[in-house]
């Protein structure tokens, strides 16, 4: 090989190496790292699906967007995930809107609302009936946003896990119980003694006698949380929470920095995994019903008298609240009411 050819070949190899180095540096520079937190302990299916979603985004993006998953309470206090997102401590979170009633009273209309929309209706309202847009209007002034597909309605919640049997509305009076959102306010009005605790604290609170009953989530979730070990009675009714919605939120500034293809990827993956979680828990809740019974828990449906009393109190509560709250509260309430009328008459 001539000297000229050798020099040409060497030059070509050097150019290839420089090109590879430049490509590697470019990819490294483009890599984005997000921190995301769920709201539950590691055994909560919602936390599990949050973690799976984070892994799926990282994989689908080829590592361009690495979403690091954190368990509830590990970065910000459990149930305070939206504060962490707004402040930029987190880039994304998966949490219950009702944990933020201190900021947005209207969040209680969307999340585990007595007399609210059941699962399928809630998701379609959120995705196509203007729900996501109303949620973003509700959170204006905070550095957070959501989008269609981000809400997983989940099946109806267990009415209560309880040490005491509930047969009449009078049995609720003085009952020490954990309840979140508007349902807690309604049950307080019915005479219950309601406190709020994060899900990860319920097992110990029942053991210590701090509470004698609690609501938390679906049959499937609650079986995985080993709640069969701490409450004899599993009381079923959709009256308190016909769905148990959780929602993904992103930091607005972090979102705006994403290139359009990664925005689309995140939305598509979130949409897929929120629906997958809903379907999984519908199925697993059927299986969990038998597991609670086989363990020895007393599983029964809440008497109609109690459902009617709760429904009547909830209607009074929302009528009074709508008169006092701001316009976004009334807008969301009206939107959901009209959607339910159309949905139930289809």
The verdict on 210 and 255 lying in the same domain is: no
The verdict on 172 and 145 lying in the same domain is: no
With cut-offs at 50, 70 and 90, classify the pLDDT of residue 28.
Answer: very low
Domain membership flag for residue 311? yes
In this predicted structure, what is the pLDDT of residue 19?
Answer: 53
In this predicted structure, what is the pLDDT of residue 10?
Answer: 60
Q: At what angle do helices 304-324 and 327-344 cross, to 10 degrees?
A: 140
Domain membership flag for residue 20? no
Task: For residue 337, give its domain range.
Answer: 158-242+295-344
With cut-offs at 50, 70 and 90, classify the pLDDT of residue 24.
Answer: very low
Q: Residue 16 pLDDT > 80, yes or no?
A: no
If one counts the domains in the chain, the total is 2
With cut-offs at 50, 70 and 90, classify the pLDDT of residue 4.
Answer: low
With cut-offs at 50, 70 and 90, classify the pLDDT of residue 111.
Answer: confident
Angle at 299 between CA 293 and CA 302, to 5 degrees: 165
Q: Residue 9 pLDDT > 80, yes or no?
A: no
The verdict on 50 and 193 lying in the same domain is: no
Look over the chain and give the mean of its residue pLDDT values, rounded to a whole number: 92
Q: How far is the CA of 227 from the CAs of 50, 53, 198, 261, in angstroms?
A: 21, 26, 14, 42
The verdict on 132 and 229 lying in the same domain is: no
Q: How far is the CA of 196 from the CAs of 10, 220, 302, in angstroms?
A: 71, 21, 22
**How far is it, in rounded angstroms, from Cα 268 to Cα 262?**
10
Whether 150 and 249 have beta carbons less than 8 Å apart is answered as: yes
63: left (phi over 0), alpha (psi -120 to 50) or beta: left
DSSP letter string over 262-321? HHHHHHHHHHHHHHHHHHHHHHHHHHHHHHHHHHT-EEEEPPHHHHHHHHHHHHHHHHHH
Domain membership flag for residue 130? yes
**Secondary structure (H, E, C), 82-146:** HHHHHCCCCCEEEECHHHHCCCCCCHHHHCCCCCCCCHHHHHHHHHHCCHHHHHHHHCCCCCEEC
Our separate counts of H helices and E strands in the chain read 13, 12
pLDDT tens digits, residue range 50-98?
999 999 999 999 999 999 999 999 999 999 999 999 999 999 999 999 8
Domain membership flag for residue 106? no
Whether 98 and 186 have beta carbons less than 8 Å apart is answered as: no
The verdict on 50 and 92 lying in the same domain is: yes
Domain membership flag for residue 111? no
The verdict on 255 and 231 lying in the same domain is: no
Residue listed under structure tokens 């319920």: 202
Question: Which of 234, 255, 283 is at the close of a domain?
Answer: 283
Domain membership flag for residue 102? no
Domain membership flag for residue 326? yes
Q: What is the CATH number of the domain that holds 317?
A: 3.40.190.170
The verdict on 140 and 257 lying in the same domain is: yes
The verdict on 149 and 177 lying in the same domain is: no
Question: Which of 234, 254, 283 is at the close of a domain?
Answer: 283
Domain membership flag for residue 289? no
The verdict on 37 and 93 lying in the same domain is: yes
Q: Residue 171: helix, strand or coil by DSSP? A: helix
The verdict on 268 and 222 lying in the same domain is: no
The verdict on 175 and 324 lying in the same domain is: yes
Question: Which of 231, 261, 283 is at the close of a domain?
Answer: 283
**How far is it, in rounded angstroms, from Cα 196 to Cα 215?**
10
Angle at 329 between CA 324 and CA 331, to 5 degrees: 125
The verdict on 85 and 123 lying in the same domain is: yes
pLDDT tens digits, residue range 204-246?
999 999 999 999 999 999 999 999 999 999 999 999 999 989 9
């Amino acid at each position: 090989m001539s000297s000229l050819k050798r020099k040409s070949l060497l030059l070509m190899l050097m150019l290839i190496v420089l090109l590879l180095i430049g490509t590697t540096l470019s990819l490294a520079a483009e890599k984005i790292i997000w921190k995301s937190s769920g709201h539950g302990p590691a055994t909560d299916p919602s936390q599990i699906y949050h973690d799976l979603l984070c892994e799926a985004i990282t994989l689908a993006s080829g590592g361009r967007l690495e979403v690091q998953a954190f368990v509830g309470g590990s970065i910000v206090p459990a149930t305070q995930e939206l504060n962490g997102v707004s402040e930029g401590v987190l880039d994304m979170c998966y949490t219950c809107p009702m944990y933020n009633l201190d900021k947005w009273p209207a969040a209680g209309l969307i999340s585990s609302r007595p007399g609210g929309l059941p699962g399928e209706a809630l998701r379609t309202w959120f995705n196509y009936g203007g729900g996501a847009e109303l949620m973003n209007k509700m959170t204006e002034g905070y550095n957070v946003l959501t989008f269609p597909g981000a809400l997983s309605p989940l099946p109806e919640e267990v009415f209560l896990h309880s040490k005491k049997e509930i047969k009449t509305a009078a049995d609720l009076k003085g009952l020490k119980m954990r309840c979140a959102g508007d349902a807690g306010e309604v049950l307080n009005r019915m005479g219950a003694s309601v406190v709020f605790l994060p899900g990860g604290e319920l097992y110990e609170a029942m053991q210590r006698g701090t509470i004698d009953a609690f609501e938390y989530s679906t049959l499937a979730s609650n079986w995985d949380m080993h709640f069969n070990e701490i409450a004899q009675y599993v009381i079923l009714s959709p009256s308190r929470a016909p769905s148990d919605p959780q929602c993904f939120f992103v930091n607005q500034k972090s979102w705006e920095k994403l290139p359009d293809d990664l925005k689309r990827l995140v939305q598509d993956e979130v949409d897929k995994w929120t629906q997958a979680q809903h379907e999984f828990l519908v199925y697993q809740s059927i299986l969990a019903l038998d597991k609670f019974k086989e363990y020895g828990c007393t599983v029964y449906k809440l008497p109609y008298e109690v459902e009617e009393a709760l429904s009547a109190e909830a209607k009074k509560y929302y009528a009074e609240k709508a008169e006092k709250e701001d316009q976004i509260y009334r807008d969301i309430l009206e939107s959901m009411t009209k959607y339910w009328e159309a949905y139930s008459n289809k």
